[in-house]
Every structure is written in C-alpha cells, then in structure tokens.
Amino acid sequence: PPDRCPAHSGVFQEMAKFECHFINGTEKVRFLERLIYNREQFLMFDLDVGHFVGFTPFGEKVPRYRNSGPDVMESRRAAVDNSCRPNYELSSPFLVER
C-alpha cells in the first residue's frame, strides 16, 4: 500500500557468498563462506580459522549451533577439495597471474 514508509518496504535479503582464494596455484587455497542479511555480514566461515565466527548479536548465536555439528564442519572443510580445486581448472584461463 502507498501509505507504508519506504524504509520499511518489507523486502528482506539473505545471501550466502562463497569465495576461493588461490595462492601459488592450488598449493594453498583459502575458502571463505560469508552469510549476509540486509547488507550486513552476520556470519563467516574461514578455513584458516577452522570454524564459524559471528559478527552481530544474532550472528554470535548461530556459530555455536553450526560449530557443534561435526558433519557441517567436515563439509565446510572438504569444500576446498570438492569445489575450489576442481573449479580452478575451469577458471585458470581467466585468472590474472600476480
């Protein structure tokens, strides 16, 4: 309805972003998973850290649940071998050597 405040349009966005950072080819791969809600990152998994880390009050509750599940943690740790390294072969023609 037109009487609603534009700041409260009722549209909410949740997004997950997965990143693979390649250092020296596939010798060292860093995997990141970022969870974002309404343009604010509230949770992140960094393979170098080895567990989920929260950034907001809600994001601090979620890691306790996710870090306690061994199957969830194992799937995140295996993402480097399942997702990053196979995709490196596909994306290597487009990567810039630095």
Domains of the chain and CATH, by start:
14-96 (3.10.320.10)
Q: CA-based Rg of the chain, rounded to a whole angstrom?
A: 17
pLDDT at 98 over 70: no
Q: What is the pLDDT of residues 29-45, one digit of tens each?
A: 889 999 998 889 999 99
Task: Give strand pairing partners of 18.
Answer: 33
pLDDT band with cut points at 50, 70 and 90 for residue 65: confident
> Bridge-partner residues for 53, per DSSP?
44
The sign one gets for the Cα dihedral 22, 24, 87, 63 is: negative
- pTM exceeds 0.75 for this model: no
pLDDT for res 2: 52
Q: Please list the residues that pair with 52 across neighbouring strands.
A: 45
For the chain, the straight-line distance linking the first and the last C-alpha, in angstroms and rounded, comes to 53
